[in-house]
């Protein structure tokens, strides 16, 4: 079904990325990845809750930029709208309603931080090994193209219509659940 819908477009857009374009995309990726990783590290170590939220914002925008590099324009737009627009506001409301103190807080981390660090480092080592072992030298196809929003919509409303409806119900249930849980009565 998907193949039937998208194959004519794929056949048309067969433009191969030139060497220079690959280099530019690569450079952008490494800059974005470095910014994202530094911001994420700051986020999990900062002593100020509001600063953590702002660092998370930087990470989310960098992830949206990564989607652009990968040619997933609709996912990037949704990332900006839903995460940066809605979820960040929700998290900042959470910070506000729980009356976080203004400025730095000393009591944000567990005493046994090193154990968490150990788990993260071991996990990273295992994942790096597994990923490099399996996908070590695989390159993204040079003739990859932007995945158009129309194809995404065709796919969602044909092949994935049942999961889509399930997600709608899940969102409704989560909405009602959040209101019921947080209501003062």
Partner 1 sequence: MFLNQFLLFAAVLFCIGVYGVLTRKNGVLVLMSIELILNAVNINLVAFGAFNGTIPGQVFALFVIAVAAAEVGVGLAIVLLIYRNRRSIDVSEANLLQG
End-to-end CA gap in the chain: 51
Task: Report, in Å, the least distance between residue 63 CB and partner 1.
Answer: 5
Task: Report, in Å, the least distance between residue 151 CB and partner 1.
Answer: 5
Pairwise CA distance, residues 151 & 135, whole Å? 27
Query: Are the beta carbons of 57 and 84 closer than 8 angstroms?
Result: yes
Q: According to CB under 8 A, which residues from 72 to 131 bind partner 1?
A: 72, 74-75, 78-79, 82-83, 86-87, 90-91, 93-95, 97-100, 105, 107-110, 113, 115-117, 119-121, 123-124, 127-128, 131
- Our finding on whether 151 is near partner 1 (CB under 8 A) is yes
Among 22, 35, 58, 84, interactor with partner 1 by CB under 8 A: 22
Measured from the CB atom, is 8 or 107 closer to partner 1? 107
Residue-wise DSSP of 4-52: HHHHHHHHH--PPPPHHHHHHHHHHHHHHHHHHHHHHHHHHH-S-HHHH
Measured from the CB atom, is 2 or 16 closer to partner 1? 2
Nearest to 146 by CA among 72, 88, 91: 72
- Our finding on whether 58 is near partner 1 (CB under 8 A) is no
């Amino acid at each position: 079904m998907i193949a039937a819908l998208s194959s004519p477009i794929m056949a048309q857009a067969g433009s191969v990325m030139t060497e220079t374009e690959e280099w530019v995309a690569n450079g952008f990726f490494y800059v974005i990845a470095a910014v994202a990783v530094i911001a994420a590290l700051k986020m999990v170590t900062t002593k100020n809750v509001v600063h953590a939220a702002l660092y998370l914002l930087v990470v989310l925008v960098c992830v949206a930029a990564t989607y652009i590099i990968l040619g997933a324009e609709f996912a990037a737009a949704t990332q900006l709208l839903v995460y940066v627009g809605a979820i960040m506001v929700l998290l900042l409301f959470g910070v506000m309603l729980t009356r976080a103190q203004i400025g730095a807080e000393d009591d944000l981390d567990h005493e046994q931080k090193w154990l968490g660090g150990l788990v993260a480092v071991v996990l990273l080592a295992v994942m790096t090994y597994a990923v490099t072992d399996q996908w070590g030298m695989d390159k993204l196809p040079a003739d990859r193209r932007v995945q158009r929003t129309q194809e995404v919509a065709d796919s969602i409303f044909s092949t994935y219509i049942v999961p889509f409806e399930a997600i709608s119900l899940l969102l409704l249930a989560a909405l009602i659940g959040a209101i019921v849980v947080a209501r003062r009565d």
